[in-house]
């Protein structure tokens, strides 16, 4: 774990995996370590650190380990983070997303996964996914396979100018669902009618970080 000061009252914490990032962000929120804890692919931004934890950040080293933090606030934060362990991570609530596997890139994904087209849907359904972080567009969640046993999928050589809302796509080790029509370079394997973002809901994002996602459905 490494701590990188960001300005006067924030720290970027580098961890080992996206699951660790989700778990650490939830742990930090439960303990009010900062105004907000934002997970990324392998980082957590602790923004607006609690009283005493931001002391001396502006003069602290730009890249320090939790074991050798310098600066009063950074050392205090490192002490607090030392009580967290990745093994304490729990998976969050599960959301079921129905999919019709009718995407134009099924053959390309089958080639990347070393299976036939019919197996793509089965492998995708059999995988438990976790929302690691959100970005790109409101409601777009970067989903990672729990266990990470699916081969990576290359992005399209030339991105599409328009991917329809509800497109279920994969790229690299990630899966995502386009909440609105937009350009995109991920490989589309299916479609869903799930509403990814609704400002009228108490929690607008259907797939907030930490959410487990189970896909259901089949080919048309």
């108490």: which residue's tokens? Answer: 202
> Over pLDDT 90: what percentage of the chain?
62
Q: What is the pLDDT of residue 90?
A: 62
pLDDT attached to residue 69:
46
User: Would you say residue 98 has pLDDT above 80?
Assistant: yes
Contact predicate 120/110, CB 8 Å: yes
Task: Please give the span between the terminal C-alpha atoms of the chain, in angstroms, as a whole number.
Answer: 46
Scanning 49-96, the segments in alpha helix (DSSP H) are 72-81
Please name each of the domains of the chain with its CATH number: 2-88 (3.30.1360), 94-218 (2.40.100.10)
At 146 the pLDDT is 86
Q: Answer whether 96's CB lies under 8 Å from 192's CB.
A: no
Residue 172 pLDDT greater than 70, yes or no: yes
């Amino acid at each position: 774990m490494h701590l990188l000061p960001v300005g006067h009252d924030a720290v970027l914490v580098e961890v080992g995996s996206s699951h660790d990032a989700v778990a650490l962000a939830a742990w930090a929120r439960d303990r009010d370590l900062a105004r907000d804890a934002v997970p990324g692919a392998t980082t957590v931004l602790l923004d607006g650190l609690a009283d005493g934890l931001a002391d001396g950040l502006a003069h602290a080293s730009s890249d320090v380990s939790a074991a050798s933090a310098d600066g009063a606030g950074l050392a205090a934060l490192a002490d607090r983070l030392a009580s967290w362990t990745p093994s304490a991570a729990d998976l969050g609530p599960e959301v079921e997303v129905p999919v019709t596997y009718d995407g134009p890139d099924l053959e390309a994904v089958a080639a990347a996964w070393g299976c036939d087209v019919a197996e793509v849907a089965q492998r995708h359904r059999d995988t438990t996914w976790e929302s690691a972080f959100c970005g790109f567009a409101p409601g777009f969640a970067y989903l990672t396979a729990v266990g990470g046993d699916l081969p990576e999928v290359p992005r399209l050589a030339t991105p599409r100018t328009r991917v329809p809302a509800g497109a279920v796509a994969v790229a690299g080790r990630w899966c995502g669902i386009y909440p609105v029509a937009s350009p995109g370079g991920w490989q589309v394997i299916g479609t869903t009618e799930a509403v990814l973002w609704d400002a009228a809901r108490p929690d607008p994002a259907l797939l907030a970080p930490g959410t487990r996602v189970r896909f259901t459905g089949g080919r048309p």
